[in-house]
Structure 1
Amino acid sequence: MAKGFGARVLTPQQEKEVKIIKRSILKHFQCLKEPRTGRRQDHNLTAIVTIGILAVLSGADGFVAIEAYGKAKREWLEMFLELPKGIPSHDTFGRVFGMLETEELEKSFLSWISSLTEKMDIELIQIDGKTKRGSYDREKGLNALHSISAWSSERGLMLAQKKVDSKSNEIKAVPLLLKLLNIKGAVVTLDAMGTQTEIAKQIKQGEGDYVLALKGNQGKLNKQVRDWLVLVSCDQS
């Protein structure tokens, strides 16, 4: 335990929750391939990855912030993680995450999130594109960083994310993002960029429903919907 803290007495319910968290983490992250070789390891990989992910989900925006999160939550983290040397430094977090295989980490993370969302019975999934503020640098020739995310507003949880080369490529990224999600029984919402026949078809094939936005520049479809709404309005009057 952290220095300065006595042994915390947990209620039976809290003990049960800690066991569930530990079992879930080990199941989904223990299989990650250890990238460090030929050196003494003060911190195990599962602990580093888990603290990093929990910190980012809590709003941490860098490795210094991840270290600060770990130190603030150390007593709680020690309930389900092995931390014999305490919380890793921000340099350790940066070095280890830089060595990990991105696809392998993403696969483990999405598997973990999927197991959680199934238990939480999430019904509404919002898909939206974002441009990272301050990522564009004309002098250095750096383009803005774009990504597309699937978000559960009910739980405040990002379910999946894909990086895109430019904002114009968001349409191509949506089908790839949908493949990462279990949308059975869910309602998927998208803005006008996602109002595409193939995207709607993919959602239905996944046994989900959808709410799609329309803009005026989507001429033919926009007119068809307007005409249908007028017809329905007349039938009900």
Structure 2
Amino acid sequence: MTELINPFMHFHVIKDYRQAGKINHKLSDIILMTICGVLSGHDTWEGVVDFGRLRLDFLKQYGDFKEGIPSADTIARVMGMMSTTALQNAFIKWMRDCHTLTDGEVVAIDGKTVRGSYDKSRDQQAIHMVNAFATANGMCLGQAKVNAKTNEITEIPKLLELLDIAGCLVTIDAMGCQRKIAQKIVDKSADYLLAVKGNQGKLEEAFSEYYHPSMLQEFSGDSYASQDKSHGRLETRCALVNKDLSVLGDLAYDWPELKSMGIMVNIRQNSEHATDENMSVRFYISSKELSAQELHDATRSHWQVESMHWVLDTAFKEDACRIRADDRAEAFARIRPVCLNLLKNEKGFKGGIKRKRMQCAMDENYLSKVLGSQ
């Protein structure tokens, strides 16, 4: 991880669509105040304004604010007018400047619904965001909104096009197991690891015919196993990798640069003496010649993106947020990962994200440190 760069330099290029003669508060100031307010524990426009009024002198160190603090209605209206695509591009460029992905790093891609954005009275569906997550350092690299008339399959290639993922291993769940997505990843000089399920029926059937539980005792390919015990539960993970793709028949030629097929078997017991077991079997294809341990570690790393979603819900109360109108819910959804990355990058204060947000609210020096501008 390289030194974090102040993101506000990237947000200055976002176009302001308001009439020039009627602008009292700069767009860059509104974005700055929103980020600082969210960093300090506020999850509503009103809360952001409360922060601004109490920390006006602090904000003037970084912005203009000649006309003071805008109202909550002004902030909400301006954020709703702003191009969320431009905000997305600014965020991705910021991450590209401050975060260098290591060769072979796992980049997990997964979607999350912002449940509080659903509005029954307006017949407005909850917005759904696709996140790209660098698992080694726990940083969100970028997002894409899934539009009402599209799905993740359509939006993932668009997100991948914006990211610099050369040399990385991109992991996606079964929804993203599509030839076009695999080709896009290969075109970006990266490798894919895609989960196989019912949406690729013939491929799943070929895996099912190939796999047999006896492989856990005797397997001609590469294998690796781990075992963890936590809270009275014992979990065993077994990874099997086969590079002889002849078992897939002609299906192997349908996938770009396909080099290995993998099987992950998870066995859970409530205790060492439990007689019943909960077993799950997952199938994978990859353009990389994976070892069994690499498959094991990559599939475990993928689920770290769920930890990011969990933090957004628990520490930022994303699902409880009732911001809905225009593009305001999407704008706020894009601000949260900015704040999460800033908070996670600050290593000096030993505490969780909630405590770091409270520290930002109480200590201007710490907030400056989090912003990376000091």
Normalised TM-score (structure 1):
0.69
Are 1:233 and 2:219 an aligned pair?
A: yes
Equivalent-residue separation in structure 2 for 1:180 and 1:58 (angstroms): 30
Tell me, yes or no, if the aligned pair for 2:88 and 2:142 is still in contact at 8 Å: no
Deviations 1:181-223 (A, max 9, x none): 1111222211100011221121111011222112256332124
Number of the residue aligned with 2:71: 89
Amino acid in the other structure paired with 1:233: F
CA drift at 1:126: 1.9
Are 1:184 and 2:184 an aligned pair?
A: no
Counterpart selection for 1:213 from 189, 195, 203: 195
Are 1:129 and 2:115 an aligned pair?
A: no
Tell me, yes or no, if the aligned pair for 1:114 and 1:159 is still in contact at 8 Å: no
Counterpart selection for 2:147 from 134, 147, 164: 164
Are 1:29 and 2:11 an aligned pair?
A: yes
Amino acid in the other structure paired with 2:220: C
Equivalent-residue separation in structure 2 for 1:121 and 1:73 (angstroms): 38
CA drift at 1:140: 4.8
Counterpart selection for 2:49 from 43, 64, 67: 67
**Could you say if the C-alpha distance between residues 219 and 78 of structure 1 is closer, same or farther in structure 2, counting changes exceeding 3 Å?**
same
Counterpart selection for 2:124 from 142, 156, 178: 142
| SS state at 1:38 partner | helix
- Superposition map of 1:196-211 within 5 A: 196-211=178-193
Counterpart selection for 1:52 from 4, 25, 34: 34
CA drift at 1:40: 5.9
Equivalent-residue separation in structure 1 for 2:187 and 2:48 (angstroms): 39
How many aligned positions are there? 214
Gaps spanning 5+ residues in structure 1: where? 1-16
Amino acid in the other structure paired with 2:177: T
Equivalent-residue separation in structure 1 for 2:52 and 2:132 (angstroms): 26
Number of the residue aligned with 2:258: none
CA drift at 1:146: 2.6
Number of the residue aligned with 1:5: none
Counterpart selection for 2:62 from 73, 80, 88: 80
Tell me, yes or no, if the aligned pair for 2:91 and 2:142 is still in contact at 8 Å: no
Normalised TM-score (structure 2):
0.47
Equivalent-residue separation in structure 1 for 2:41 and 2:108 (angstroms): 19
Are 1:194 and 2:176 an aligned pair?
A: yes
Equivalent-residue separation in structure 2 for 1:66 and 1:121 (angstroms): 36
Gaps spanning 5+ residues in structure 2: where? 224-374
Equivalent-residue separation in structure 2 for 1:40 and 1:190 (angstroms): 43
Are 1:38 and 2:21 an aligned pair?
A: yes
Are 1:99 and 2:81 an aligned pair?
A: yes
Q: Which has the higher strand share?
A: 2
Amino acid in the other structure paired with 2:76: G
Equivalent-residue separation in structure 1 for 2:42 and 2:11 (angstroms): 20
Deviations 1:30-87 (A, max 9, x none): 333343422362x333222233345557875432243345567767655433445555
Tell me, yes or no, if the aligned pair for 1:160 and 1:181 is still in contact at 8 Å: no
**Could you say if the C-alpha distance between residues 37 and 201 of structure 1 is closer, same or farther in structure 2, counting changes exceeding 3 Å?**
same
Equivalent-residue separation in structure 1 for 2:12 and 2:172 (angstroms): 35
Equivalent-residue separation in structure 2 for 1:96 and 1:135 (angstroms): 18
Amino acid in the other structure paired with 1:161: A
Tell me, yes or no, if the aligned pair for 1:125 and 1:186 is still in contact at 8 Å: yes
| SS state at 1:211 partner | strand
Equivalent-residue separation in structure 2 for 1:189 and 1:60 (angstroms): 33
